[in-house]
Every structure is written in structure tokens, then in C-alpha cells.
Amino acid sequence: MTVPAPSIPALRAFLTLLVLFLASHAGFAQQATSETEYSPTVGQPGKDVVWVPTSDAVVERMLKMANVGATDYVIDLGSGDGRTVIAAAQKFGARALGIEYNPDMVALSRRNAAEAGVTHKVEFIEGDIFEADFTQATVLTMYLLPSLNLKLRPLILALRPGTRVVSHAFDMADWDADQKITVEDSDAYLWIVPADVHGNWRVSRTGPVARESWALRLVQDFQVLYGQVHVADARFRLTEGLIRGEEVTFEFIDASGTRREFSGHADGGRMDGTLRSQDGTSENWSAVRDRADGSLLEIDLSY
């Protein structure tokens, strides 16, 4: 029996149906593949640490602790599945970057960000946290090990003064945290990167009458300040010294027993602020950094 050849229109219709059939099955295959995409396992090894996710509740409290807002740029070191970066954008309106060594985790984070609708605010890159540039961060977050925190510490202290740093679970040894909280039996630590004010300063005061200049020596231990102020021929030990970002405070009690309280702002080699006395008077003060060789004041700070 002879079978007639299909007509051109029939052949075109058949080919169209075949294309639609294959496309449909390709979609199903893609869906099946996506369902078996990479899924991390708690405790799986990484480059420097094993992966243990931070709970959403702890993430949110850490970001609140750092006072994250829409003007911030949050960088998460070892960003894992991206939850901290995504929360910073989704709940706090910040721009955020995740740095992660595992390329599968990076791909997973990007999918999670797409599902959360925050791809316009976040970015994930594959990289080593010890080689990556995170100097533009206004907020730095991490969940690493104590040894890694210490290895990162010099880089963190070199960030812009006022940068907020939050760590889940682990501290930074003798750099005491500015704040510590506990959420769901997990500790979180906050540090404010301090400005460098260590050294000798010349203090000028402005008031209704001429004022003598004072010499000031500050010794800095992270955010804690020690030192002495040299007034005429007398020297007085500083107390309550603190540098929080660029905001500096310290005080001393003069020869008359009057408490003098300084508060101000440090910007490189200059400080400006207000001096309040126990008797209720106040005046403005400013200071410029003097010689860095320590020759201005040779004082005993062994207390």
C-alpha cells in the first residue's frame, strides 16, 4: 500500500507540535533540576570554618545592634547562604555585599536574593575574606572563629572610624566589645572602630578671657584612653577616657578639686569639642596633634 507524503502545511504543523512538546519537557527537566540544586548541610567543611547558619532571630538582632539603616553598606564576611545580606536589604533597606569562598553557596545566595526580591540591593561574590576589599563597609558582619577574628583584627582597626562590626558567637580577645547581647543562647558582639588619637596634643580653649594652652598626652588601648593633661606646672591624670568612632570623651580633676569634662570630635590630627566644668560653666576647646616622637610630654602612665 502506498502512503501519501504529508503535505507541507501538515508537516509544518507536526514540526510545530514537536517543538512545543520538546520545549515543554525541557521546562519540566529544568524544574526537576532546580529541585535538586545545591543544598548545604549544617557542619559541612569550608575553607576556614564549617558551615553553621545563624538563626534569623540572631541575624535581625545583630543588624539592629549595629543600627543598620538605608544609608548603610553592609558587608558579610563568609556569607554562606546569604541570609544576613538579604535581611540587611529586605528588613533594613541597606545595600549589602556577601563574600563567600564556596561557589555553590554564592549561587544559592543569588537564588535566595532573587526569591526575596532584593537583587537590586545586594551582591554576592566568590572570594577569600583575607584577600577581599571590605574597606567600603559601614557595617561589617561575621560568624567566624576566634583565631580568624584575631587575624582580621588589624584590617578591621584600619577601617574608617565609626565602622560598626558585629560578630556572632566569638569576640576579639583583648579588644573588649562596646556591647554584648545574648539571643537564643547565642552571644553577639558589637565594636565601633575607634579613631587613632594616641599621642601628644596642644589644647586651646576659647572663652571671654584669654586662656592658657594645655598639653595633653593620650595613650590609647583600642577604645579606652589613658593619659595626663599638663596645666602650667601641674599634671593631672585623665579618667573616663573613651573614643567611640570619632567621638572622644575624657575628664580630670584640677588642683582646686573641680572636675573638667571634655567631649569632642576627632578628625585626623585635630579635635574639637566642649569643656564643661563642675561649677556649670562651659567653653569650647580644640587640639592639634603635636610631635609624634613623644618629646612634648614625658610622663609616667604606669598606673
Joined together, the cell numbers standing for residue 173 give: 580577645
> What does the pLDDT look like over 76-96, one tens digit per residue?
999 999 999 999 999 999 999
Q: Band of the pLDDT at 1, cuts 50, 70, 90?
A: very low
Asked if 146 and 65 count as a contact pair (C-beta separation under 8 A), the reply is no
97-106, 111-120, 229-238: which range is least confident on average? 229-238
pLDDT of the residue at 36: 61
At 147 the pLDDT is 96
Identify residue 16 by its one-letter amino acid code.
T
Better-predicted residue by pLDDT, 109 or 36:
109
In this prediction the pTM is: 0.83
Confidence at residue 37, expressed as pLDDT on a 0 to 100 scale = 81
Give the pairing of strands 282-289 and 199-206.
antiparallel
Q: Are 128 and 65 in contact (CB under 8 A)?
A: no
Enter the C-alpha cell of residue 171.
Answer: 569576640
Beta bridge mates, 158:
none
Residue 1's contacts (CB-CB under 8 Å, 6 or more residues apart) are none
Mean pLDDT across the chain: 87
Q: Which of 58, 9, 27 is nearest to 184 (CA)?
A: 58
**C-alpha span between 162 and 295 (Å, rounded):** 30
Q: Say if residue 52's pLDDT is above 50.
A: yes
The answer to whether 188 and 181 are in contact (CB under 8 A) is yes
Euclidean distance between CA atoms 261 and 278, whole angstroms? 8
Residues 6 or more apart whose Cβ sits within 8 Å of residue 51: 40, 41, 42, 43, 44, 45, 80, 102, 105
**Structural domains for the chain:** 56-192 (3.40.50.150), 199-289 (2.40.128.120)
> For residue 31, what pLDDT is reported?
42
> C-alpha grid cell for residue 18?
514537536
pLDDT tens profile 240-294: 999 999 999 999 999 999 999 999 999 999 999 999 998 888 999 999 998 655 4
DSSP state letter for 294: S
